[in-house]
Structure 1
Amino acid sequence: MRETSIARRIALLLSGTASALVAMPAAAQTADAATTAGAAGEETIVVTARKREETLLEVPIAVKAFSSASIQDKLAQDIVDLADFTPGFQIQEAFGRDGDRPVMRGASNILFSDGKVGIFLDGAPYFGDFSSLDLANVDRVEVIKGPQSAVFGRGTLSGAINVVLQRPGDELKGKITGTIGNYGRRELSASLSGPIVEGVGFQVGAKYFDVDGQFKNSAVPGERLGDQNTKQFTAGLFLDPTADISASVRWLHQEDDDGHFAIGLQPSGANNCYLTTRPYYCGVVKAPKSYGLNTDRLLHSGLDRNADRFIGDISWDIAGSGYEASFQAGYSDLVEVQGVDQTYDDRAFLFLPAALCGTSYYALPNQDCSKSSFEATSGQHRKTQTYEARIASPGKDRLRWRIGMFWSIDKTAPNADYLELNEVGPELLDDTKRVKNRAYFGGVDFDVTDNVTIGAELRHQIDKVRNTTPSYRVGDVFSPEYLATVTLPDPDQIVGTPGVRKATFKATLPRFTVNWKAADDLSFYAQYSQGNSPGGFNPVRAPESTYDEEKLINYEIGLKTSKFGFDYLNVSAFWQDYKNQVLTNTYVANNIVDSYSVNIGRTRIRGIEVEGGLPIIGRTLKLQFNYTFLDSEIRKGIEAERALELMGSACKTGSAVNLDLPGCRNAASIAGNRPPLVSKHTGSVGLRFQHDVNDGWTFFSGLDVIYRSSYFDQVLNLAESGNSTKLNLQVGVHDDDGLRITLYGKNMLGDDSPAGILRYLDFPAPRTPTGDYARAFGITPARKAEYGLTISKSF
């Protein structure tokens, strides 16, 4: 009752923010025009989108840059929050803070982020999920849109995100921030940086974050779903021994300990279309009213992730000539355990008939009939090394060039500690995956006139992919005491067939740009670029053992200006040809259910992005906005399930789909459909108000309305999310000495459109008329309304 009362009071206060934005017109006319720490779009932001310093107006690329002040102003805790304010960028968090699914400019991403949108720390590749990467101690986040393979290399087919970390200045500086909110939210972060002695500086930071789950777990009394906990520590040492040499080494440590994410099953009984063939659900999915997951039956419930990352770099202005030689090395060590109840409800069902498990035909070696194969826990250990060396000519020369070389090795190995015996016997170990990448790159820019610059960049890269399928002896993993309790115990059983698969992918990736600076505050640009995502291997038991390289060709024009009264106005239009797009499908093999990657065909993407900041009353009342229109259409592709929906068993031979039967291949076409997870319209509108009160204090308030149109769950374009509209509000005060107090609310209208939709096989349900398992849908709910109080002090 007390929390509800507080919630009503804070919601009432926040709802008055919109009135406050326009309730003080006389005061607004006399307000001081000084920039506040929370205002966005007022500072000149220098970005490194091409791995050299340029202003946003100068760089001929679509870049959305967030300074530390604007990150604070957007109430952003992570990159997922920033996506709401970035044209052309969406992220679906269907599985909590694991399995990121970023979608940049319509390039769908179903299972993983590697290969589509790359993330970098100070230009060094960051491997693994990034939704939990905290932004407390960063200086800037650059979201770089369109293919970035020519500059950033592997994993940047449709875009890149560069997180620029804080560096020490000439004076001791620090900041401490604390937040409390509903659902037990508690955050505390602190950072300190400055000189140690002349030529030597330091930076340290720490953050603790904890929040309770928002949804009750009806299957486990007293448990809530979606709780999150993070501890983060950073440290850096910075050396400037001479005026020409600078070097640094950084360490980032992060521990995530999250409970099971909330997800609920829309059962197959809700299906409403193609009922006489292959039933599916058509229309907006229905968010579950309750959530029940058997987390008490998991070996480990939720996410446990521990990561250490190191970045070292050195640069030398060769003898003060302006020619710069630089070298950067990165290393990361990531250990992750994830336990998921893949029934997505409280049924705790078994794949095999429970009454027959362990008897007659259903008796399998080392079979534990009390354990469902849907109660899955997996662990992995990922180690990566990256090295990059480059030489660049002086940045003020009319002809500027840079050349370099990159090398990396990325290895992911399964953790046998989380193997289990279940209803179908011993679990298989995932493949050990190793990717070696070697690349040579270069670029040149030439000032044709004082106002026109042309540029060319080229990268040739070689990816060597190796998947090693492991095996193990059961007695080496499970104790004799435990094996004595299972069906047909056999400690000498060898699980898995060892093998090695190798492939090499080569690509030469260009980008050409033209930039015309028509005035000091107006520029136009055009570019042609290519991006790729190398192919790879599926599990050996999947219907298709490999998937091919993806390729994206981008044509783009744009303008950037601060004319016409705008603080900034950026407009871009692009056309993309997306070949061999990789999505996923589901298969059942040897009583195992899994997903695999598959090339669906060819996609055409067209879009327009607009963003800007417009003063309404000087710097006192400002409008911020962004909008994206995406016309993303599959031009060539096949989906077997579509043939079953339209023609039923006429497209099956026995139990297998056969698209070579009359009319079936044409029926399976998905040409004309939109790729999954892609919204046609996204955008936000915000207002910012500030007014000097007295004695160095300033009152501020803000409002953001964030919109996302409906997206489809899969290429069939049948089940969809529905439109989403969120309202964020804030009100507070700050003084001239760095103290800032903010009362905030996020999603205050309680928008409940799903955060994710997962196409699912409902095994306990009756088979469909085609003899297939019935379709159901796992629905990840949106976060509920959140509110809280943040106090920060900079010094």
Structure 2
Amino acid sequence: MRRSRFSTYSFAWLLSGAALTLAGAPALAQSAPDDVTEEVDSGDAIVVTARKRAETLLDVPIAVSAFNGASIQDKMAQDITDLADFTPGFQIQEAFGRDGDRPVMRGASNILFSEGKVGIFLDGAPYLGDFSSLDLANIERVEVIKGPQSAVFGRGTLSGAINVVLKRPTDEFEGRVSGTIGNFDRRELSAALSGPIIDGIGFQAGVKFFDIDGQWRNTAVPGERLGDQNTRQYTAGLFFDPTADISASVRWLHQEDDDSHFAIGLQRSSANNCFLTTRPYYCGVVQPMDSFGINTDRLVRPGLYRNADRFIGDISWDIAGSGYEASLQAGYSDLTEVNGVDQTYDDRGFYFLPQASCGRPPFFALPNQDCRKSSFEATTGIRRKTQTYEGRLTSPGDDRFRWRLGAFYSEDKQRGMTEYLELNEVGPELLDDTKRVKNTAFFGGIDFDVSSTVTIGAELRHQIDKVYSDTPSYRVGDVFDAAYLATVTRPNPNQIVGVEGTRKATFKATLPRITVNWKPQNDLSFYAQYSQGNSPGGFNKASAPDPTYDEEELINYEIGMKTSKFGFDYLNFAAFWQDYKNQVLTNTYIAGNIVDSYSVNIGRTRIRGIEIDGQLPLVGDILKLQFNYSFLDAEIREGVEAEKALQLMGRSCKTGTAVNLDLPGCREAASIAGNRPPLVSKHTGTLGVRFQHDVGNDWTFFAGSDVIYRSSYYAQVLNLAESGNSTKLNLQFGVHDDQGMRVTVYGKNVLGDETPIGILRYLDFPAPRTPTGDYARAFGITPARKAEFGITVSKSF
């Protein structure tokens, strides 16, 4: 078991002492009371920058769910994954712990990676990499912007964008300290302080420490837990206002994550219950796993280690006080990520080669072969560096005719790290391709007030993506030392692994959005929009069946309404229809005795849906009802899946060992038209109640509950194995005062819903081959988090 950095008892004493000290301390500046209801009552009052200019939620003619600091606290949200439960049309699957985030916005499935479908931004600057550990303790708000955002945010926003807006200091000192303890030895401590240094210069600094023990016992390694999570985050910033017309800032964000191996269990092929005479599969709701065995002791570095430094700098100039503004933003990130995974998802040791014959001539003696090591037990490391630049020129925001122009450039490079290469049963591992992307874009937009109630707008972005994939090679003796090579089969330090080569492609796109907004009353607006989104194509590994995949395109038609009438604090409604072309999902392949995944275009998908969310006072400010709901009707209209042909027709769709869809009837049998895209739930929603009442001496008692529902989703395009319906219950109660003191007792998933949060289609190598001669199908099942309880104490000043 990973040793904790500090004891629970020490943390509890520290937290209690801090709470008592802060409770009695005078406020250093005017405090922002933690009265959540006051801050979340009026949804239209929240100012957002969903179009990279300040607008209220009621005025922006697109679907946006915005969460300010008070709302995030009210939802007990610790990360963006938690906010998905309260955002209609937004789902996230975490099948691999805090690595490989797979957000699904409005039915645009995301199987292998997050980038390309839903973009993440910090103050409008691209945030590349996984976001599930991004701390929300010291932010201004989170804007979840639904529908294609390519015209504004550019690359990687085919179905939506998430903009995390960071806080800025005021001219007074402000701060916040918060601590949490809970079951599974949860310990969390965060602190933030901001204020002026001298006239015209301000600062901001923050820190967060988070640690929780794994919820599952590893039966393969006695004493070890699966699912440990540890995060350290530091933030700092300097803010400059040398004149009334000029402002600038520079920010630094450091994140360090250190997690043990995630919990995942293998539902073996022996559980398959359909197509048993051809290509067996599992049909129906997969079973929750109650035992997990992961061979972490056979990994170089088990679990996830991630270390990232991100910098954002910006400057804006209100040109001579005219209202015309010029701005420039630059971003830089340096990310190192190491991930050790037992890809058997089982306590069995999987080997491609017969163990008894491994290393023996004439067939199973390979150069630099280590028969002690399975190729399924892999640790990989990547180093990723990104730089972005954006310049904008905008006209005054109060003019009847408003415009904005800008340009954007970015370079993104990620490469494999030789430090984590290994020798295994099939010889030296290949080093991952180095991927480079250069993006250049020019964009602009106009808005015109046709009348005092009607505004039309148009936005356009032209972008050029240059994508490179460099296949590297290396000399074995340059990576592995002579003493180790002396212990393997046929040692050869001069062996060259990999064939060097470069592939490149250019993708160009012109992406529009047209909006109409009608605001007949101050508390009521209607909007309509047409927009296009794209995700540029790219390269798979050269060994994949399809070395390349094409650009995805999405066309969105949408209407919506926003209001605070009819007794609602806020009520938002949206209906949309989308045409999704060349949707990219993933499949598996075997090459050189290595199993890997690759991206593939499956065809065309039609998506229709409605979204609604709101807040309704039941008894004034004392009792309120919060709700959101989304309905998604996503249907694949064109597409083929070779595995379906094997299920229906067996060996008659094979030539030798390869699937051949050109054989009679096979292509028709492989059609997946009419199926639902994977990971897409038809119904999702949350129903919550909030209560608060004064109890005297400036103290208020509060309580809340949320029922979070997600209907079943399919694991893959075959629409056979599925998750089942999920219903979670969250509870909280506590007290707060008018000086920023708050104590919350909480429970998450208190009824212990066990619906799996991840299903991975898998090949069960040790099992007998199927009647079609293929490896048997199994399923990797990621369990839901167990019931969690704890107490949080915070003080704002």
Q: Report the TM-score when normalising by structure 1.
A: 0.95
Q: CA deviation at 1:40?
A: 5.9
Map of 2:78 onto structure 1: 77
- SS of the residue corresponding to residue 668 of structure 2 reads helix
Map of 2:61 onto structure 1: 60
Matched, 1:207 2:217: no
Q: Look up the equivalent residue of 2:475 and give its one-letter code.
A: R
Aligned positions of 1:313-462 closer than 5 A: 313-360=314-361, 361-462=363-464
- SS of the residue corresponding to residue 237 of structure 1 reads strand
Map of 2:275 onto structure 1: 274
Q: CA deviation at 1:39?
A: 5.7
Deviations 1:57-109 (A, max 9, x none): 00000000000000001000000000000000000000000000000000000
Q: CA deviation at 1:289?
A: 1.9
CA distance in 1, matches of 2:368, 2:447: 65
Map of 2:507 onto structure 1: 505
Map of 1:308 onto structure 2: 309
Q: CA deviation at 1:715?
A: 0.2
Map of 2:494 onto structure 1: 492
Map of 1:89 onto structure 2: 90
Deviations 1:611-655 (A, max 9, x none): 000000001100000000000000000000000000000000000
Map of 2:739 onto structure 1: 737
CA distance in 1, matches of 2:659, 2:339: 33
Map of 1:478 onto structure 2: 480
CA distance in 2, matches of 1:445, 1:35: 37
Q: CA deviation at 1:41?
A: 3.0
| Alignment check: 8 A CA contact 1:299 1:339 kept | yes
Aligned positions of 1:95-134 closer than 5 A: 95-134=96-135
Deviations 1:564-585 (A, max 9, x none): 0000000000000000000000
Q: Look up the equivalent residue of 1:54 and give its one-letter code.
A: E
| Alignment check: 8 A CA contact 2:606 2:636 kept | yes
Deviations 1:222-254 (A, max 9, x none): 000000000000001000000000000000001
Q: Look up the equivalent residue of 1:252 and give its one-letter code.
A: L
Map of 1:545 onto structure 2: 547
Map of 1:788 onto structure 2: 790
Q: Look up the equivalent residue of 2:750 and give its one-letter code.
A: M
- SS of the residue corresponding to residue 316 of structure 1 reads strand
Q: CA deviation at 1:37?
A: 2.8
CA distance in 1, matches of 2:532, 2:754: 38
Aligned length: 763
Q: Look up the equivalent residue of 1:739 and give its one-letter code.
A: M
- SS of the residue corresponding to residue 296 of structure 1 reads helix
| Alignment check: 8 A CA contact 2:37 2:621 kept | no
Map of 2:197 onto structure 1: 196
Q: CA deviation at 1:332?
A: 0.2
- SS of the residue corresponding to residue 455 of structure 2 reads strand
Aligned positions of 1:385-784 closer than 5 A: 385-784=387-786
Q: CA deviation at 1:36?
A: 1.9
Deviations 1:438-458 (A, max 9, x none): 000000000000000000000
Task: Let me know the Cα RMSD of the aligned residues.
Answer: 0.9
Map of 1:285 onto structure 2: 286
| Alignment check: 8 A CA contact 2:34 2:736 kept | no
CA distance in 1, matches of 2:786, 2:722: 20
| Alignment check: 8 A CA contact 1:600 1:638 kept | yes
| Alignment check: 8 A CA contact 1:751 1:782 kept | yes
Deviations 1:353-401 (A, max 9, x none): 1111111201110000000000010000000000000100000000000
- SS of the residue corresponding to residue 643 of structure 1 reads helix
CA distance in 1, matches of 2:391, 2:406: 5
- SS of the residue corresponding to residue 417 of structure 1 reads helix
Q: CA deviation at 1:287?
A: 1.5
CA distance in 2, matches of 1:251, 1:679: 38
- SS of the residue corresponding to residue 152 of structure 1 reads coil
CA distance in 2, matches of 1:396, 1:288: 58
- SS of the residue corresponding to residue 582 of structure 2 reads strand
Q: Look up the equivalent residue of 1:771 and give its one-letter code.
A: G
CA distance in 2, matches of 1:246, 1:288: 54
- SS of the residue corresponding to residue 320 of structure 2 reads helix
CA distance in 2, matches of 1:72, 1:282: 40
CA distance in 1, matches of 2:137, 2:355: 50
CA distance in 1, matches of 2:688, 2:76: 12
Map of 1:36 onto structure 2: 35
Map of 1:233 onto structure 2: 234
| Alignment check: 8 A CA contact 1:38 1:72 kept | no
Deviations 1:396-445 (A, max 9, x none): 00000000000000000100000000000000000000000000000000
Matched, 1:180 2:181: yes
CA distance in 1, matches of 2:170, 2:140: 12
| Alignment check: 8 A CA contact 2:34 2:741 kept | no
- SS of the residue corresponding to residue 36 of structure 2 reads coil
CA distance in 2, matches of 1:190, 1:483: 50
- SS of the residue corresponding to residue 356 of structure 1 reads coil
CA distance in 2, matches of 1:599, 1:608: 26
Map of 1:30 onto structure 2: none
- SS of the residue corresponding to residue 491 of structure 2 reads coil
Q: Look up the equivalent residue of 1:192 and give its one-letter code.
A: L
Q: Look up the equivalent residue of 1:389 and give its one-letter code.
A: G
| Alignment check: 8 A CA contact 1:41 1:613 kept | no
Q: Look up the equivalent residue of 1:455 and give its one-letter code.
A: G
| Alignment check: 8 A CA contact 2:34 2:738 kept | no
| Alignment check: 8 A CA contact 1:39 1:73 kept | no
CA distance in 2, matches of 1:207, 1:129: 18
| Alignment check: 8 A CA contact 1:384 1:408 kept | yes
| Alignment check: 8 A CA contact 1:649 1:770 kept | yes
Q: CA deviation at 1:351?
A: 1.4
CA distance in 1, matches of 2:453, 2:253: 42
Deviations 1:644-682 (A, max 9, x none): 000000000000000000000000000000000000000
CA distance in 1, matches of 2:520, 2:373: 69
CA distance in 2, matches of 1:349, 1:614: 56
Aligned positions of 1:11-26 closer than 5 A: none
CA distance 1:39–1:342, shift in 2 (3 Å):
farther
| Alignment check: 8 A CA contact 1:120 1:163 kept | yes
Q: CA deviation at 1:349?
A: 1.9
- SS of the residue corresponding to residue 243 of structure 2 reads coil
CA distance in 2, matches of 1:430, 1:199: 48
Q: Look up the equivalent residue of 1:177 and give its one-letter code.
A: S
Map of 1:26 onto structure 2: none
CA distance in 2, matches of 1:36, 1:316: 36
| Alignment check: 8 A CA contact 1:726 1:748 kept | yes
CA distance in 2, matches of 1:36, 1:792: 13
Q: Look up the equivalent residue of 1:571 and give its one-letter code.
A: F
Q: Look up the equivalent residue of 1:724 and give its one-letter code.
A: S
Deviations 1:669-706 (A, max 9, x none): 00000000000000000000000000100000000000
Q: CA deviation at 1:350?
A: 1.0
CA distance in 2, matches of 1:610, 1:520: 20
Q: CA deviation at 1:38?
A: 5.3
Map of 1:6 onto structure 2: none
